[in-house]
Structure 1
Amino acid sequence: MFETGLSKTQIQTVALTSTAILLGAVWMARPSSFLFPLQQHEHHCRCFPGDDCWPSLEEWADFNKTIGGKLISTIPIASPCHDSFPGVDYDPDKCAQIRANWERPEFHIETTHSPMAALFANLSCDPFTPRDAQCIVGAYVPYVVNASDADDYRKTIAFVKERNIRLVIRNTGHDYMGKSTGAGALAIWTHNIKERSILDYTSAGYTGKAMKIGAGVLSSEAIEMAKAEGLVVVGGDCPSVGIAGGYTQGGGTSPLSTKFGLAADQVLEWEVVTGKGELLTATPTQNQDLYWALSGGGGGTYGAVLSMTVMLHRDGPTAGATLSFTEPSDKFWDMVKVFLMNLPAVLDAGASLYAWYLPGNTFLISQSYLLEGTSQDLQRLLQPTLKALDESGILYTWEGHDYPTFQDAFYTQNPKQDVAEINLGGRLIPRSLMKSNDSVDSLVDALKSIVDNGGMMATVCADTTHPPTFPNSAHPAWRETLFLVFLYTIYDRYNMTTNILNKQKVTNVLDPALVKLTPGGAVYLNEADNNHPDWPDAFYGPNYPKLAAIKKMYDPEDIFWGPTAVGREMWEIATDGRLCKVGP
């Protein structure tokens, strides 16, 4: 683990002076269109640092005793880069280390507070701002409970309800929607709930191998346990993702999705503590509504998940291949059209792949997977694309490989993922766009416009059309999807104005090119524009009313809240950072 140089006492003490979180106004990435008058805060907003209702240091210490000393007060990870945070000295060597490691997901995972998507830290304490710039807790959660069991969950939920404090659920901070941090919030940090085991599972709908996965388990940890038994678990493209959290609860795309479906399609059980403080087991036959909602309806919304149990599948030899070419002329987009028309047959044959569209007219298939297939099979499946490239005279690079297991293919093709510093958008692209030459041309034009306007794209190409074993709340559009577009502009570490403009470009220019093609369509809960103007329909579709009713049943006091989460419309972030109820 990267060392910050902060002592254990500094990190864990709840006696740290709270003046740092009271310094100045908090600049927010999405300032609200309104600001509640100060005199109404007590009645309509969550209690905030500096308010009379905010717990004293003694009261925080008393709460800490009830949870066995698991309360951690936030010391911003970049504080050695500045002079102003109480108890931390400026240290140029430590600051250089922090800057060198900043893009690594693993660096943020081990902290209690730092989101990988720097936009949501809102320059509170940034390693790339000048030494004399502010370093405050600001948009970070000021306190965290290092949870280990349901009792910690219950006591934390009870404390925030009693004190009217905002609650946040955090595991790794691998989050593009801003759900894993929050000004003035107390967080349940699930990262150290690492229990996992492989089971022989029997139920009315499934008999076979399964894995029980604690809330803090990373995808890589689950993958390794499954591999040791000759099995695979459906996990994300980024090994650092917390598999039981927002990833699976938000649907969960995977290199194995063509073969087995979304991550949400694998779930057999959830262990969850609700907003009422009840520890429940949710399955397709027990607390079915809660099971349905958690399996694709979003994380940190209906309750705090303690564990999930998912189906496992047999591992096997896996083929992989990469393809790349660059062509400055419009012949590039002719080749893209051939590839798109080739794609349904590739997925129907059991493959999945990741294709990139980059500035300079560069196309790249960086990863592809065919479980129980060979590289020759992949080459045959993509032959229409390769033939068109040969006939066009465009130079390209093709490499096929055969791996003994899926995991070998996964880690060889996907060795490192540093993907946090981006301004994100995206869309699910339905198979129906492949039905006519005109609709394919329109799709190619839309992709071209995104690149021409400074955007970059990755597409997750997998067949998610097969129905799940058990009904779940993943957006119905997944069952008609050909691929997911993950589009973005690059986050600028040194110019927040540029980031604001680039985020607006995603919302107003890049995303609309695909929205126009897919009216009434959908986005992926975990990889989309958090400012999407039609977010309930785009994120949840026709499931939203039912999901909202289930939330009200299990979380009647709106303890769980997050940007773009079900129930988000009931609360808003005020301009000073506090969470306030919408309306009088």
Structure 2
Amino acid sequence: MVSFIAAGLLLTALSVASIENIPSKHGKAPSSAQDRSLAAASCKCYPGDACWPTATEWSSLNTTVGGRLVATVPLAAACHDDQWARYDNTTCTALQNSWVDPETHYLSSSSVMAPFFANQSCDPFLPESAQCVIGTYIQYAINVTSADDVSAGIQFATKYNIRLVVRNTGHDYNGKSTGSGTLGLWLHHLKGISISDWSDSHYTGKAIKLGAGVQGSEAYEAADAAGLQVVGGECPTVGIAGGYTQGGGHSALASKHGLAADQTLEWEVVTGTGKHLVANRQSNTDLYWALSGGGGGTYGVVLSMTSKAHLDTATSAMNMTIFASDTTQDAYYEAIEYFHSTLPAIVDSGAMAVWIFTNTSFLISPITAPDVPVADLKTYLAPFETKLNELNITFTSYYAQFDSYLNSFNAMFSPIEVSIAQYGGRLIPRSVVENNNTALTQAYRDINNLGGQFIGVGVNVSKAVVGDVYNAVNPGWRDAVIHTVITTPWSFEAPWSEMLANQRLMTNEMLPKLAALTPNGSAYLNEADFRQPDWKSVFYGTNYDDLLAVKNKYDPNHLFYAVTAVGSDHWTVEDDGTGKMCLA
């Protein structure tokens, strides 16, 4: 019996041997030792293959990393009669009631918040008799505490030809931090935070160094205590230094300071060859450039990130709600069209807007305006409120001014549920809003009527805002005024085939309506359709080839794989139920 750490606690009730023999989602395994050997030549080694490490070899890795190897036990094991536990109705009911809360998942070394990529491997909403297998969850995770742990994981994955992923909280719409037969490098407990003075030829001011496991709320509180504000996500449980910043990272502070990737000063990273490097604008500059907006989980394993920290300011905010039932559909969408026309002036003031709408309701939730007096914010919204009155649309609104960014954030942002939707997206240039707004509104209306729901993010992250930066942010961000997110609702009670149909609807019918208005356009790679046909240009713009060169330099063996990440087409992932990864 081998001891492992699970969610920070010792787990001694499960042997490595029992883990390595768990079947895939559909229980499939190669039919013979000869088949397994042949498969391993061009594919990653998979549980059941002859090349899969023995219990002794996993135990050796566990010793190397100080007993911090975590053997995956699916989070919902208590909802099934399985090899881990018998069905427990009380525990299972509690899990079902909290499954949409990020806190349920981010303390786990293996759980993911995107239900499509969990693939019903161990679904708490399926009957007690349904399967509970590791399936698309990672097989093991190293609870990383140092660069040595990462290097040990890289060496082990290389030696045994095992798929390797980087993970923190599991906040991940596109399944980048999971996969069948995978060893995970789990960075969640790298919680170091320090604030210092920074000075070089590009930036002089306060800086904050964040361990890779630091979540937004932790960074905001540390910054606030020092009279500062830092750029992070609207969901406070998202890690800042991981895929969020590495993918670009929009924020309620984006129109004031730029994207998260625009804040980066330095990265501490372990490369695909196991080298422990520091990357900034003076050394390993190409890696610094790629990590700052070129996508996460593919160039190396980030241990920490140092970013700009800005002096805190008073922050005003507002929210608003209207309902389509109070008026006609034509008037309702006329109001939405008018709101979009006001966005350039709003975001140019330094404010950032979030709004949500279906064909039944429209909510601004919220607009955040750092260093903008609340009286000025009311002035920016006055034309929209006047338009609503002219259309005889009833609305409720709330305005407030707070003495700090953190107080505004805590008061105005609601908890964000997970596992409730599938996602797609498109960046809408300012020119479309200014010159083709009616057609844009019609596209939104058509998509709403197909069942799509929208989250709008209004920002100005142009070069005039971000100043002196050097990064791989998708150039489409620089003239965008709306990041449009399309969601289709996820239901754990609905047939799996219906959820797959919703995904196809996203790819084949919804997103093309926006693409037609934004030819050669862009999308935010962290909140986009993982089946985007032309993802290289849409997610990375003109940066893709240069990013691939960085990938090939620092990860020459393409050890790191993530869905739609730079270089991901080096591999294919089987859709036959095994999820096995093979050379393309």
TM-score, length of structure 2 as denominator length: 0.94
Deviations 1:64-106 (A, max 9, x none): 111111111000010011002x231211111111111111001
Q: Secondary structure at the match of 2:295?
A: coil
Shift of 1:256: 0.2
Q: Secondary structure at the match of 1:198?
A: strand
2:385 alignment counterpart? 386
1:376 alignment counterpart? 375
1:104 pairs, out of 101, 106, 121, with: 101
**What are the residue-to-residue correspondences of 1:30-429 with 2, within 5 Å?**
40-84=38-82, 86-328=83-325, 329=328, 330-360=330-360, 362-429=361-428
- Is 1:525–2:518 an aligned residue pair? no
1:577 alignment counterpart? 579
Equivalent-residue separation in structure 2 for 1:12 and 1:117 (angstroms): 28
AA matched with 2:280: T
Q: Does the 8 Å CA contact 1:209/1:312 hold for their aligned counterparts? A: yes
Equivalent-residue separation in structure 1 for 2:24 and 2:369 (angstroms): 54
Q: Report which stretch shifted further, 374-383 or 11-20.
A: 11-20
Q: Does the 8 Å CA contact 1:376/1:400 hold for their aligned counterparts? A: no
AA matched with 1:78: A
Shift of 1:246: 0.1
AA matched with 1:18: I
Equivalent-residue separation in structure 1 for 2:428 and 2:27 (angstroms): 38
Q: Does the 8 Å CA contact 1:235/1:243 hold for their aligned counterparts? A: yes
Q: How many residues end up aligned between the 2 structures?
A: 565
Equivalent-residue separation in structure 2 for 1:261 and 1:205 (angstroms): 15
Shift of 1:357: 1.4
Q: Report which stretch shifted further, 198-207 or 307-316.
A: 198-207
Q: Secondary structure at the match of 2:134?
A: coil
Q: Does the 8 Å CA contact 2:459/2:481 hold for their aligned counterparts? A: yes
Deviations 1:482-501 (A, max 9, x none): 01011101111022111101
Q: Does the 8 Å CA contact 2:193/2:210 hold for their aligned counterparts? A: yes
Structure 1 portions without partners, runs of 5+: 28-36
CA RMSD of aligned residues (A): 1.7
Equivalent-residue separation in structure 1 for 2:258 and 2:7 (angstroms): 44
Equivalent-residue separation in structure 2 for 1:13 and 1:69 (angstroms): 14
Q: Does the 8 Å CA contact 1:11/1:74 hold for their aligned counterparts? A: no
With over 3 angstroms needed to count, the CA separation of the structure-2 counterparts of 1:558 and 1:26, relative to structure 1, is farther
Equivalent-residue separation in structure 2 for 1:179 and 1:142 (angstroms): 15
Equivalent-residue separation in structure 2 for 1:19 and 1:306 (angstroms): 28
Equivalent-residue separation in structure 2 for 1:124 and 1:353 (angstroms): 37
With over 3 angstroms needed to count, the CA separation of the structure-2 counterparts of 1:116 and 1:218, relative to structure 1, is same
Q: Secondary structure at the match of 1:366?
A: strand
Equivalent-residue separation in structure 2 for 1:218 and 1:6 (angstroms): 16
Shift of 1:292: 0.4
Equivalent-residue separation in structure 2 for 1:110 and 1:415 (angstroms): 21
Q: Does the 8 Å CA contact 2:73/2:84 hold for their aligned counterparts? A: no
Q: Secondary structure at the match of 2:306?
A: strand
Q: Does the 8 Å CA contact 2:17/2:54 hold for their aligned counterparts? A: no
Equivalent-residue separation in structure 2 for 1:479 and 1:209 (angstroms): 25
Equivalent-residue separation in structure 2 for 1:142 and 1:453 (angstroms): 38
Q: Does the 8 Å CA contact 1:14/1:61 hold for their aligned counterparts? A: no
Shift of 1:506: 0.8
Q: Report which stretch shifted further, 177-186 or 407-416.
A: 407-416
2:449 alignment counterpart? 452
Structure 2 portions without partners, runs of 5+: 1-5, 29-34
Q: Does the 8 Å CA contact 1:11/1:72 hold for their aligned counterparts? A: no
Equivalent-residue separation in structure 2 for 1:318 and 1:273 (angstroms): 38
Q: Report which stretch shifted further, 217-226 or 350-359.
A: 350-359
Equivalent-residue separation in structure 1 for 2:86 and 2:105 (angstroms): 21
Q: Secondary structure at the match of 1:72?
A: strand
Deviations 1:229-281 (A, max 9, x none): 11000000100101000000000000000000000000000000000110110
Equivalent-residue separation in structure 2 for 1:565 and 1:274 (angstroms): 16
Equivalent-residue separation in structure 2 for 1:265 and 1:24 (angstroms): 41
Equivalent-residue separation in structure 1 for 2:290 and 2:573 (angstroms): 25
AA matched with 2:64: T
The share of aligned pairs that are identical, in percent, is 42
Equivalent-residue separation in structure 2 for 1:13 and 1:309 (angstroms): 39
Equivalent-residue separation in structure 1 for 2:148 and 2:273 (angstroms): 13
Equivalent-residue separation in structure 2 for 1:523 and 1:238 (angstroms): 20
Q: Does the 8 Å CA contact 2:99/2:419 hold for their aligned counterparts? A: no
AA matched with 1:359: N
Shift of 1:118: 1.3
Q: Secondary structure at the match of 1:271?
A: strand
Equivalent-residue separation in structure 1 for 2:10 and 2:406 (angstroms): 40
Deviations 1:373-393 (A, max 9, x none): 222211100111111111121
AA matched with 1:464: V
Equivalent-residue separation in structure 2 for 1:359 and 1:107 (angstroms): 31
1:32 alignment counterpart? none
Q: Does the 8 Å CA contact 1:515/1:521 hold for their aligned counterparts? A: yes
TM-score, length of structure 1 as denominator length: 0.94
Shift of 1:38: 6.1
2:508 alignment counterpart? 508
Shift of 1:15: 3.2
Shift of 1:39: 6.4
AA matched with 1:42: A
Shift of 1:124: 0.6
Q: Secondary structure at the match of 1:205?
A: coil
Equivalent-residue separation in structure 2 for 1:413 and 1:167 (angstroms): 38
1:33 alignment counterpart? none
2:31 alignment counterpart? none
Shift of 1:464: 1.0
Equivalent-residue separation in structure 1 for 2:379 and 2:12 (angstroms): 56
Shift of 1:23: 5.5
Shift of 1:40: 4.1
Equivalent-residue separation in structure 1 for 2:513 and 2:54 (angstroms): 51
**What are the residue-to-residue correspondences of 1:465-476 with 2, within 5 Å?**
465-466=462-463, 467-476=466-475
Deviations 1:361-404 (A, max 9, x none): x2111111111222221110011111111112111112111111
Deviations 1:108-153 (A, max 9, x none): 0000100011111101101000000000011100111000000001
2:16 alignment counterpart? 15
Q: Secondary structure at the match of 1:187?
A: strand
Equivalent-residue separation in structure 2 for 1:166 and 1:176 (angstroms): 20
Deviations 1:31-81 (A, max 9, x none): xxxxxx866412110000000000011110011111111111000010011
With over 3 angstroms needed to count, the CA separation of the structure-2 counterparts of 1:323 and 1:204, relative to structure 1, is same
Q: Secondary structure at the match of 1:492?
A: coil
Equivalent-residue separation in structure 2 for 1:471 and 1:382 (angstroms): 34
Q: Does the 8 Å CA contact 1:11/1:73 hold for their aligned counterparts? A: no
Equivalent-residue separation in structure 1 for 2:8 and 2:439 (angstroms): 58
Equivalent-residue separation in structure 1 for 2:269 and 2:538 (angstroms): 26
Shift of 1:545: 0.3
Shift of 1:452: 0.9
Equivalent-residue separation in structure 2 for 1:273 and 1:508 (angstroms): 39
Shift of 1:22: 2.1
Q: Does the 8 Å CA contact 2:571/2:583 hold for their aligned counterparts? A: yes
